Amino acid sequence: MAFSTYGRHVTMDLRDVDFDKLNDVAFLKSVMVEAVNRCGATIVGENFIKFHPQGVTGVLVLSESHLSIHTYPEEGFAAIDCYTCGTTVDPELATDHMAEALGGRVAGYKALQRGTGEIVDLPKYRLAAVR
């Protein structure tokens, strides 16, 4: 069986997100698991860390790569990153779900095509549907 190195990498910054959402490990993990389910990926590992006095870093390791979040509740900020290899999993479905579940506003967004030579910017074709 041949495997493709083709992948898509989506990064998104959210601002004006509720403090309590960004500081709740259980909530963030449940949102991320649902995001992975929606995009069709497979979870193979996880690590979530709650910082004191506030903040969370979490990563779901996927057979296709990863979905991660790093939060600054005191700033209402979340940095989200989703990379998936192959053509059957769509990382934008995961980041769209994260934006919907967390609320706030999308302050930064970048989608890239990777693994085929040059890294290529992809259009924000789904972002308008989220906001």
Please report the domains of the chain, with CATH numbers, ordered by start residue.
7-130 (3.60.90.10)
Q: Which residues are catalytic?
A: 65, 70, 85
**Cα(111)–Cα(46) distance, rounded to whole angstroms?**
23
Per-residue tokens: 68: 């991660």
Chain segment 87-112, per-residue pLDDT in tens: 889 999 999 999 999 999 999 999 99
Task: Judge contact between 3 and 114, C-beta under 8 A.
Answer: no
**Cα(16)–Cα(108) distance, rounded to whole angstroms?**
13
Chain segment 13-47, per-residue pLDDT in tens: 999 999 999 999 999 999 999 999 999 999 999 99
Rounded to the nearest integer, the mean pLDDT of the chain is 91
**Cα(43)–Cα(54) distance, rounded to whole angstroms?**
26
pLDDT band at 131 (very low <50, low <70, confident <90, very high): very low
Closest to 81 (Cα-Cα) out of 7, 6, 25, 5: 7
Task: Judge contact between 34 and 97, C-beta under 8 A.
Answer: yes
Closest to 96 (Cα-Cα) out of 29, 20, 18, 31: 31
**Cα(80)–Cα(109) distance, rounded to whole angstroms?**
9
Closest to 85 (Cα-Cα) out of 47, 41, 53: 41
